[in-house]
Amino acid sequence: MARVLAALAFAIAVASNAGVAELGTEIFHVADVFQEDYEQMEQQLKVFVYPDPVVYTKLAGKYASEGYFFRNLMESRFVTTDPEEAQLFFVPISCARLKEEGLDHDEISDNVASFVESVIAKFPYWNRTMGADHFFVTCHEIGTRATSKVAHLVKNSIRVVCASSYSGPFIPHKDVALPQILQPFPSPRGGDDTEKRETLGFWAGPANSKTRILLTKTWQEDSDMVISTKHVGMQQFYRSKFCICPSGTRVSTARIVESIHFGCVPGKSYLILSDHYDLPFNDVLDWRKFAVILPEQDAGTLKDALELAPYATLHRNLLQAQAHFEWHSPPIKYDTFHMVMYELWLRHSTIRY
């Protein structure tokens, strides 16, 4: 066991310090298939970016994922200036940027529509597939409404969107869940530190959903748990085995990613149908290896579920997951940027019409 942990610690040190990362294979559905296909993606994937992109450049705050994606793509080897060589076409609109410029929702959707219409009129590529080999990225909640005036953009093209914009028609085999990651993280990764984790389950936040109310009512007095509607300091993330991520008024992955970073195994409740698909990269990563996924109505029996979960294994696997939920500039192998690019690669078609 100790040797396994030492090797793992080394792999993670390599992943965070240099551009060459060692892949933690426990958390994948089929790791060797991923690895082989990923290498192919690195060599072959080419993206054409339409001219005059409206980009978001902030690498902090709620929409940092949008900023990192734009920046990472431009500094990556995936961009080609030859559209004939491209498998995918990037429609570079940024809802966060347009919002920042003070446009209201209606103006944003007009702006997006006119950008897409000009792309359709000026270039022959959209019409070849009706946009099926086109993608756009947005982490802003407005995402769905912003694209409402271009039906084909929503229906045909690949939407790379943060979970908070799922109110729209998210189609799992077509669209890509972009993790919402609030970087920079306020403190370092949690590591091989299970002996310091004495709290069984932790959650703090506003009780603004049915699950959160049930969670608070049932567990706030429990001495093995820290469940609170009041502010609890960041350190609690390092002291807890499991961090509960109940759905609130908005579906967001920010809390889940924070838990992963701090080494606290996410206990994620799900609502069938509504946030069934909000776990990023779940067609590649097997979330059950590093998180406890619970039906929403089970908040009342949460403690049993956490006590029965194979904590040591989940925590060890969680450390392997950390590298996939971090942005870097420039991007590094297997980080969030590359995972998103891999998801796009899985959705590209090899047939040209």
Instruction: Enumerate binding residues for ligand NAG (CB under 6 A).
Output: 120-121, 124, 127
Which residues, at least 6 apart from 289, have a Cβ–Cβ distance to it below 8 Å?
A: 26, 27, 313, 314, 317
The smaller minimum CB distance to ligand NAG, of residues 230 and 353, is found at 353
The smaller minimum CB distance to ligand NAG, of residues 116 and 302, is found at 116
The smaller minimum CB distance to ligand NAG, of residues 40 and 127, is found at 127
The smaller minimum CB distance to ligand NAG, of residues 116 and 177, is found at 116
The smaller minimum CB distance to ligand NAG, of residues 16 and 129, is found at 129
Which residues, at least 6 apart from 276, have a Cβ–Cβ distance to it below 8 Å?
A: 270
Match 């498998």 to its residue by tokens: 87
Q: Minimum distance between the CB of residue 156 and ligand NAG, rounded to whole angstroms?
A: 13
Q: Minimum distance between the CB of residue 235 and ligand NAG, rounded to whole angstroms?
A: 57
**Distance, CA of 150 to CA of 39 (rounded, Å):** 35
Q: Minimum distance between the CB of residue 129 and ligand NAG, rounded to whole angstroms?
A: 11
Q: Minimum distance between the CB of residue 116 and ligand NAG, rounded to whole angstroms?
A: 11
Q: Minimum distance between the CB of residue 348 and ligand NAG, rounded to whole angstroms?
A: 21
Rounded to the nearest 10 degrees, how much is the dihedral formed by the CA atoms of 268, 271, 277, 283? 60
List own/partner pairs for 112-119 with CB under 8 A and 24 or more apart.
112/146, 112/147, 112/149, 112/150, 112/153, 113/149, 113/150, 115/54, 115/91, 116/91, 116/150, 116/153, 117/150, 119/50, 119/91
The smaller minimum CB distance to ligand NAG, of residues 127 and 297, is found at 127
Q: Among all residues, whose Cβ is closest to ligand NAG? A: 127
**Distance, CA of 146 to CA of 98 (rounded, Å):** 10
Q: Minimum distance between the CB of residue 143 and ligand NAG, rounded to whole angstroms?
A: 25
The smaller minimum CB distance to ligand NAG, of residues 57 and 127, is found at 127
Q: If you compute the radius of gyration of the chain from its CA atoms, what whole number of angstroms results?
A: 21
**Distance, CA of 297 to CA of 246 (rounded, Å):** 11
Element (H, E) at 351: none
Q: Minimum distance between the CB of residue 91 and ligand NAG, rounded to whole angstroms?
A: 15
DSSP lists the bridge partners of residue 285 as 28
